[in-house]
Structure 1
Amino acid sequence: MSLPSLAPIPGLLLPLANRAEQSWRTAVAGLEGGHGLDDWSAERWSAFHRVSAASDFFIEQSLRDPLMLLELVRAGELDRSFAPGELCRQVADVVQAAATDDELGRALRRQRTRQQIRIIWRDLNRQADLIETCRDLSDMADASIDQAYRWLYQRHCQQFGTPTGHRSGEPQQMVILGMGKLGAVELNLSSDIDLIFAYPEGGETVGAKRALDNQEFFIRLGQRLIKALDPMTVDGFVFRVDMRLRPYGSSGALVLSFNALEQYYQDQGRDWERYAMIKARVVAGDQVMGAQLLSLLRPFVYRRYLDFSAIEALRTMKQLIQQEVRRKGMADNIKLGAGGIREVEFIAQAFQLIHGGRDLSLQQRPLLKVLTILEGQGYLPGEVVSELREGYEFLRYTEHAIQSIADRQTQMLPDTPQDQARIAFMMGFDNWTAFHEQLMAWRGRIDWHFRQVIADPDEEEVIDEGELIVGGEWLPLWEEVQDDAAACAQLEEAGFVDAPKALKQLAALRSSPQLRSMQRLGRERLDAFIPRLLAQAVEHANPDLVLERVLPLVEAVARRSAYLVLLTENPDALRRLLTLCAASPWIAEQITRFPLLLDELLNERRLFKPPLAPELAAELRERLTRIPEDDLEQQMEALRNFKLAHRLRVAASEIAGSLPLMKVSDYLTWLAEAILEQVLALAWRQTVAKYGTPQRANGSLCDPGFIIVGYGKVGGIELGHGSDLDLVFIHDGDPNAETDGAKPIDGAQFFTRLGQRIIHLLTAQTNSGQLYDVDMRLRPSGASGLLVSSLGAFERYQESEAWTWEHQALVRARVLVGCKQVGAAFENVRASILSRARDLPTLRQEVSEMRAKMRGNLGTRITAAGTAENAYEATVPFDLKQDAGGIVDIEFMVQYAALAWSREHPALLRYTDNIRILEGLEQAGLMPVTDASLLREAYKAFRAVAHRQALQKEAGVVTGDQFVVERQHVRRIWSELGLS
């Protein structure tokens, strides 16, 4: 395309040009008595009017410093092209005169403004073509970066010493790579600059009092360099610096060694980083070492084989961009929209990535050169290349026109009549309509050619149907393609309350050690997953909470990326994961600790419908039969995995509302019993294999002659999500008779070791955690007693030595697993002990004293365990379990009633759970129907809240103004039973 023609200034813009002339004459008059413009020709004034009518930036800067434009005119720099190196020498002169960092920044900014005025003047007056304009802008960037770097490097070495390589012993310089348009010498009028900082090798500084690691030296230097170029000051800015193309993006180290860069791109480099690296060029620092670095990285960019996978990758990237364009309403973006600048770049890059490894001529940076090679080498027909070239140049001239108005980095077509008139005028058209028709014609041709090269022939118009990459609108945010402000705006628009926090959490994930050590395949899987995660998270009422709870899981499974694939390819499983994590931090923590639980999310029917007790036991038996008997490690893992999976299913069902409280406890208790059955079988088999089988007093072999008795919650069929197991071990073997094995021991030792083995199997920590915490303190004589008691010893202890509170505990005791004969005998002993005749005043006193002791030690102090006048206020806590009127009060009343009346009403001993004992008291007429019902409902209500609190990882405490009526009734019934 030839240069856009010069059009007359339209009437809408003439007032701008006239006001600019008036202001300019006034400003110069203040400087030189009005004589500075005496030698301005009509042609000069015409050129001034053109630029003033088009560019607010030009006139603002010229008025701010009138001498700058006058000097450019007198030096003749507005009327000629610069010779090679001339612009760099000008920058070097002003940099060398600087004495401080502040003076350096000021000098660079003034020089940038000077060159912008010159470049805009020449561009809008058609004195420079597109290539010259881009070259001057790129040269200005190169010179600013390099001269600032050299100035800072010298002073940095004076302060910290000279960085020196460990291996070479040579002084080290930084290598600064320019990426994107800077790397291709295609910078636009208001472009930012994408940079990557590197240094050749590790080592430390020499010549200073304290040596500094080379990386730390260059990080500090890089920070000073960015500060010299990037911030907006009263003098403007030099170039906006974007460092997000470096390895790991914003979360990565600012500067990396050559080895670290090579390793990163070899192991983790992604497709979009290949595209970026096509245009990488050494713009500052050590040019010789920079050439070596680019040589090291070339195999990452250009494959030796024909790489047709690049087409699919480019297609995916384009689809993502188009989703973003639609989401942000950017159809008028001449860079990213359909038929825009990016599509021409993609066409060229497709051929470069596919063929560049073999055809070295394609290893070029400037796009126009690549197009020429594509035509010359026969990759594309000449007429196609001609259209692409002309369309691209038209778009780039338009881009410069847009940016020259206010020196803003934008590619959006303006929507105001004045700025539309400016664009049409700068592009040589009489009006906006004529310009826009030509623009859309070029965009249509570019888009057509793009589709021939890039678009998927099997997907007709998929792009227009919105059936694109799931969550693709979030990929730019995840890959840091957009700045933080835009990312936060997108998060807020999607429903995040604290967008900066969410963005910080994503950045922390990106910088985590797990992600840094990921291989390329894993990173690609993560890049596919995160946008889907965000897309589903924003469907929840509280996406902030979802993200906070799920990101630790993502970090935990990052290096086992098959889990990411599972969630990516199963959106329903991902949806269930987010729902469960949003509902319960406990579930989120469990899945994070044990990612194998993600498999449970695949089957919705199984997840929300846990099996009944017989099915549970059968499933576990079947799992263990597949494992060799001597593989203890695998057996222990299988037990733990089984427990984790079914506990998750119960919690999920409770959250979904498909399991009421009582059923939740039933299932958790059945799960414990199924596990205990297999643990006992394993422990028995291992102990017998080592010592032989123990004997009973009559000489028969035990088979196993052993039971596990459950107390507390497991005995009362009231297990919660994090409950431990209160257990007692009992046997009916002969303590003195030896086992019949090769290494015989007496029965007492055998059963002790069997009990120890059981506890080990239950409590040992493996990769999947432990099965249960076990509490054995309810055995005869507590912690000082034998680990395992014979049935006879247990009976004698209960008859003559046990305290009343131990008999209370026995009310909730039942056989969980083991020998049926011993179990039946235990039940007889239990019934005999509990149904003894008791002195009721003494019983009431002992139960009351024990309860008072517990309240004193465990209740809420500021309310005297719920008994003080302030106990029902909203400002104080109520402990659901320990405070007066709570769970333990109800349990103590039930236990008191069983001990007091089971002699006359043995049916009270049939069950061990509080609900059914209360029903028994009601049926026997020992408690009014209303009172029994009140206690049952209060007990269930308290426990339901405690369950919910556990799933929220919160203590079983609520505010004092809750359950006031229930607590008052419980305390009333407590008093009516004569308890104090």
Structure 2
Amino acid sequence: MSLPALVSLPVSLEPFVQRAADAFLAAGGDWTNWPDARRDAFARVCAASDFVAEQVGRDAQLLSRLADEGLLERTLAAGELRAQLAERLADCTDENDLAVLLRRYRNRQQVRIIWRDLTRQADLAETCRDLSDMADACIDLAYQWLYQRQCQQYGTPIGYRSGRPQHLVILGMGKLGAHELNLSSDIDLIFGYPESGETEGAKRSLDNQEFFVRLGQKLIKALDAITVDGFVFRVDMRLRPYGSSGPLVYSFNALELYYQDQGRDWERYAMIKARVVGGDQLAGKELLELLRPFVYRRYLDFSAIEALRSMKQLIQQEVRRKGMAANIKLGAGGIREVEFIAQAFQLIHGGRDLSLQQRPLLKVLATLEGQGYMPAPAVAELRDGYEFLRYVEHGLQAIADRQTQMLPDNEADCVRLAFMLGFEDWTAFHERLLYWRGRVDWHFRQVIADPDEDENGDDELLGAGEWSPLWEESGDEESASRQLQQAGFADGLAAWRRLADLRKASQVRSMQRIGRERLDAFIPRLLAQVVEQQDPDLVLERVLPLVEAVARRSAYLLLLTENPRALQRLLELCAASPWIAEQIARYPLLLDELLNAGRLYTPPQAPELAAELRERLARIPEDDLEQQMEALRHFKLAHRLRGAASEIVGSLPLMKVSDYLTWLAEAILEQVLALAWHHTVARHGRPKRVDGSLCDPAFIIVGYGKVGGIELGHGSDLDLVFLHDGDPNAETDGLKPIDGAQFFTRLGQRIIHMLTTQTTSGQLYEVDMRLRPSGASGLLVCSLAAFERYQGTEAWTWEHQALVRARVLVGCPRVAAAFERVRGQVLGRERDLAVLRQEVSEMRAKMRDNLGTRSSHAGTGENAFDPSVPFNLKQDAGGIVDIEFMVQYAALAWSHQHPELLRYTDNIRILDGLEQAGLMTGDEVRLLQDAYKAYRAAAHRQSLQKLPGVVSGEQFHDERQAVMRLWRHLGLD
């Protein structure tokens, strides 16, 4: 596209020129020797730009020097901008001086660049290049100056592996990375350093991470802080791993691991433009090579196409935001759409076609044409439309040196913008702008559109169009009910009234305009998919509470509108489980989990689960307990949903679901213990052992019951016992010392607090501590020695039964091994079998009396198998607890002869051990295992249906009778 034409100065802008001229002359400016062309340029520039007028009014010599040096009329040579700044910084004495010099240099160059842009002496490419080169010079030279001073103070950072001095690598992202910076852009940066180590050469050494964090903070301040001289560049660090919540600086290893394991699609888009703009260029080249596989996939595969689909969704979410219609970057047909078109081809084909692995957008467009990815006319329109929009962007920002892409809302600036773009008036300019935005948007839709959609759009494809009038109440109740019934609803009137109730809900009535527009777009799509479900009445009943819950946070509605597959998964899960429907309604953040079916239905293994949680918490400040607790809860909610979803679709069988939920609890407990230990030690110091050594932490969390038996369900609580091996009387080594007993009690209290406190994201787990020695009246945390004494002399038989299912979940390996020794000694002693049978039978009888079904005498009455009499899966005769008690009896009775029975804590593997030891036949073991699995599967289904663990008495006849027969065979009546 050719440069915008010059037009004569509108009369309405003449007062701006007069004010600028008066200020310039009052400040000592002199234009007596200026040629007429320069005076005309002064009038043109100051009429358009308040920023330039303000600068020449503050320092008239700035413009005079630029003019005298000929810098207003010529293009700068490569490296000239850097040389000018280097000369200015040669005598810089301190950080305040650095700030002043950088800002004055920036203001000088900004005036020169705007001048040349508005007088059409510089084209778009030169303007962007100068702005980017200026940013490079400011970033790198400020960094080099600060690095030398910080090395003098803290020593030089040295890498452990290489033994060489380390430098920061500063990556410029976005427009800076592509050398496309605009007139008032912020700069997106990422900081990295090659390797860990510490400083050398100063009294006080720092590790490299801390050294570079401090240096990065100083660099940001040098560039970003606003002073009387303004700022240099607004610095945005949110593109780094984990965004604002992550560390400011990362080692290369940490960056590589993050992008390899957790990098998201939008981070691939961002990394396309990454360029080393400061610091160690050679190391930076190495870093970009490390990250290249993350950005460019080797093959054109399904994941690349899915990334394109996700990109489409992200764009459409942005362009529909409130107020974005007037935004020439983010709105429809804006700059962002051209960028995403180019990046789409880069992501799909860049791994194989190296010519696409470049940063500047116009060069990518040229490659797309040259390589045949897009037809020449389409590329020409995109290029011309993009350049026009960039000129508009520069015009908007030249006015007040303000980062904006919004069209002006006042007449004076409208006149200015049209004038800068070479149009006689706003109407002519706006017509041209609408033309280019329309062409860009058309090409955007051609490239990004899902090929499964038809030409007329999503509404017709999804059947949503026919539901819009119904939702908008264009008909009466009778016709609406009839339409719903004809579409598949059993009770059309009830469905219509549910929709009417949603419309009347306070959450909906108080929605802002953009939110209501999103709701109006979403409901027809929702209905179109609901009628495809097997039971649309039930699905609508379950999903509408979620819609009402998120109505005020309409981004969630947009997410589902833009992701039909996610909406389909939501409806399928809601149809299958009211528990899931309720969970998502209570915690809408779970909707994010529906975007990726692979992740949703293929939960990670235990090591990956623990590593993911560690990484999430690593980005949170150590002392931010509130944020840590929220992160733990979000993690638990997300993974619990994955477990339930996987069970519903059958990708995880029952036993694997319990494994997964148990691993989840262990991963959370591991981090809760670590956090609680950190906070308690920070306050009181570390406790000591009897030998005087410091605890590390000499503390374990023992799981009983379902968590101990690796059999957690969807709503299970945790039966826990806390044990330590410290000296209860020795004081901790902190500034506020307390004795060991108090320390471990407070540690236990903090753990329970972190697990049970209700936040906006609920609680982590309900915790039952009654299985500790002496129950509720005993100490919260017990020493291992006291636990051993109690189990050996005071514990009841039922407590030894519970110990069969006890295992260490997390904590000190040394104490864990000692606990296993104690457990083995307690459970492995020889017992009087007659007494044991009597005590186990009596305890079971008490439980049946108190917890079983009264109408059937806990499943022992004559009516126990009557369909009208419920069967309690857990407590009634022949149920879960009978099997558990038989396993526990067998372990207590025979483990002194067969210690291998104590190897495992779950019932299934203990039963396997009984068969291997010849204590039960294979048929008996299989019978108990199958019955146990069947009961637990039924209990899981009941839980997901939000029903109690009770089924009809006509169910499980064979299993119940067989279990009761074996119960009697063991003499446990």
Q: Tell me the residue number matched to 1:276.
A: 270
Q: Which residue, out of 626, 642, 650, partners 1:562? A: 642
Q: Matched residues in 2 for 1:521 and 1:454: separation?
A: 37
User: 1:405 maps to what in 2?
Assistant: 399
- Deviations, residues 840-886 of structure 1 (Å, cap 9, x unaligned): xxxxxxxxxxxxxxxxxxxxxxxxxxxxxxxxxxxxxxxxxxxxxxx
Counterpart residue number, 2:292? 298
Find 1:375's aligned residue among 364, 369, 375. 369
Indicate yes or no: 2:367 matched with 1:287.
no
Matches within 5 A, 1:434-449: 434-449=428-443
Whole-angstrom CA distance in 2 between matches of 1:300 and 1:39: 58
Which segment drifts farther, 385-394 or 93-102? 93-102
Distance 1:204 1:548 in 2: 28
Task: State the partner residue of 2:341.
Answer: 347
Q: 2:258 maps to which residue? A: 264
Judge conservation of contact 1:557–1:564 (CA < 8 Å) in 2.
no
Partners in 2 of 1:119 and 1:138 — Cα distance? 11
Shift in Å, 1:385: 0.7
Q: Is the 8 A contact 1:205 1:214 kept in 2?
A: yes
Shift of 1:85: 0.6
- Cα–Cα, structure 1 residues 635 and 346, in superposed 2: closer, same or farther, change >3 Å? closer
The one-letter code of the counterpart of 2:275 is R
Instruction: Provide, for residues 385-423 of structure 1, a one-character-per-residue CA deviation record: whole Å limited to 9, x for no partner.
Output: 100000000000000000111111111111111111111
SS of the equivalent of 1:205 reads: strand
Residue aligned with 1:195, SS: strand
Residues 558-637 of structure 1 correspond to what in structure 2 (within 5 A)?
Answer: 562-563=642-643, 637=709
**For 2:143, which of 118, 127, 149 is the aligned residue?**
149
Partner of 1:23: 23
Partner residue, 2:122: 128
1:66, 1:56 → 2: CA distance? 15
Paired amino acid for 1:64: R
SS of the residue corresponding to residue 399 of structure 2 reads helix
DSSP-derived class of the 2:253 partner: helix
Alignment partners' CA distance in 2, 1:312 and 1:61: 50
State which of 86, 108, 111 in structure 2 corresponds to 1:117: 111
Q: Amino acid of the residue matched to residue 369 of structure 1?
A: K
Match of 1:241 in 2: 235
Cα distance in structure 1, aligned partners of 2:447 and 2:314: 17
The equivalent residue for 2:169 is 175
- CA distance, structure 2, for counterparts of residue 705 and residue 566 of structure 1: 38
Q: Aligned letter for 1:213?
A: D
Partner of residue 12, structure 2? 12
| Alignment match, 1:365 | 359
Secondary structure at 1:327 match in 2: coil
Query: CA-to-partner distance for each residue in 1:289-315, whole Å, 9 max, x for gaps?
Result: 111111111111111101454444344
Take 1:157 and 1:684, find their aligned partners in 2: how far apart are those partners?
59
Q: Distance in 2 between matches of 1:389 and 1:296?
A: 32
Q: Is the Cα–Cα contact under 8 Å of residues 78 and 121 in structure 1 kept in the other structure?
A: yes
1:91 equivalent in alignment to 2:231: no
Say if 2:842 is the partner of 1:706: yes
1:328-727 paired onto structure 2 within 5 Å: 328-459=322-453, 460-462=456-458, 466-467=521-522, 552-556=632-636, 562-563=642-643, 637=709, 641=713, 644=716, 691=831, 693-694=833-834, 706=842
Give the secondary structure class of the aligned counterpart of 1:37. coil
Map 1:64-103 onto structure 2 (within 5 A). Answer: 64-103=58-97
Q: Distance in 2 between matches of 1:568 and 1:229?
A: 54
TM-score between both structures, scaled by the size of structure 2: 0.54
Distance 1:98 1:249 in 2: 33
How many residues get paired?
Answer: 589
The one-letter code of the counterpart of 2:53 is I
Cα deviation, residue 473, structure 1: 6.3
Residue in 1 aligned with 2:195? 201
Query: Residue in 1 aligned with 2:247?
Result: 253
- Partner residue of 1:158 out of 148, 152, 158: 152
Answer with 632-641 or 222-231: which moved more. 632-641
1:229 counterpart = 2:223: yes
8 Å contact 1:553–1:592 — kept in the other structure?
no
* Residue 322 (structure 1) shift: 3.3
Given candidates 185, 188, 194, the residue that maps to 1:191 is 185
Q: 1:27 deviation in Å?
A: 2.3
Unaligned runs of at least 5 residues, structure 2? 460-517, 527-546, 560-587, 593-602, 617-625, 651-661, 669-703, 720-796, 806-826, 854-888, 897-903, 908-963, 965-973
Distance 2:802 2:608 in 1: 43
What is the DSSP-based 3-state SS (H/G/I as helix, E as strand, rest coil) of the residue aligned with 1:284? strand
Q: Distance in 2 between matches of 1:99 and 1:330?
A: 46
User: Closer, same or farther in 2 for the Cα pair 1:384/1:522, shift >3 Å?
Assistant: farther
What is the match of residue 954 of structure 1? none
Question: Is the 2:644–2:714 Cα contact (8 Å) retained in structure 1?
Answer: no
Gaps of 5+ in 1: 30-35, 479-501, 507-513, 528-545, 571-589, 597-631, 648-677, 718-749, 758-764, 769-818, 820-980
Q: Structure 2: how far apart are the matches of 1:475 and 1:191?
A: 30
Which residue type is aligned with residue 346 of structure 2?
Q
Distance 1:118 1:180 in 2: 24
SS in 1 for 2:362: helix
Partner of 1:581: none
Scaled by the length of structure 1, the TM-score of the pair is: 0.53
2:16 and 2:46 in contact (8 A); partners too: yes
1:772 maps to what in 2? none
Q: 1:433 to 1:689 in 2, by over 3 A?
A: same
- 8 Å CA contact retained: 2:318, 2:330: no
Change (3 A) 1:474 1:211: farther
Give per-residue Cα distances to partners, 1:884-914, cap 9 Å, x unaligned: xxxxxxxxxxxxxxxxxxxxxxxxxxxxxxx
Contact 1:176–1:196 at 8 Å: present in 2 too?
A: yes
> Residues 161 and 520 of structure 1: is their aligned pair in 2 closer, same or farther, counting only changes over 3 Å?
same
Per-residue deviation at 1:326?
2.7
- Once the 2 structures are TM-superposed, how far is the Cα of residue 26 of structure 1 from its aligned partner? 2.4
1:62 to 46, 49, 56: 56
Cα distance change on mapping 1:474 and 1:18 into 2, 3 Å: same
Deviation at 1:692, TM superposition (A): 6.5
Mapped contact 1:205–1:211 kept (Cα < 8 A): yes
- Determine the C-alpha separation between the residues in 2 that align with 1:147 and 1:99: 14
* More moved, 20-29 vs 332-341: 20-29
Secondary structure of 2:324's partner? coil
CA gap of 1:436–1:300, structure 2 versus 1, over 3 A, is: same
